[in-house]
Copies of this chain bind each other. A is one copy, B any other.
């Protein structure tokens, strides 16, 4: 499993890692039952601290995307299917936003606002 981060980004590293996992879950690259690589392994591969990776994993656990246990690791839950179900709509919205010249930040903010509104 390949994870990428951009150390120069203003987005926190743990958010970038969590985003990457969400992305792969929505794309179907990661499915229920799949195991995330051990945090220590990811930390070394990305040249990042263990805690940074664990914080990302814990975010994903808090939102139900993965289940974690000592000794066993982090396993993708059935919740991944829900993300996959949203993929097409998210892509459509993003494409429409691009046509209209609306930037990433703005459209993400729009969805955040819509989520709180509904």
| Chain A interfacial positions (CB closer than 8 Å to B) | 15, 18-19, 22-23, 26, 59, 63-65, 79, 82-83, 85-87, 89-98, 100-118
Contact = CB atoms under 8 A, between A and B. Distances in A.
Tell me the interface secondary structure of chain A in the complex: helix
Total copies of the chain: 2
A111 B111 contact: yes
A86 B108 contact: no
B112 A83 contact: no
Contact of A105 (B63, B96, B107, B113): B63
A22 B114 CA distance: 11
A110 B90 contact: yes
A82 B100 CA distance: 6
Contacts of A65: 106
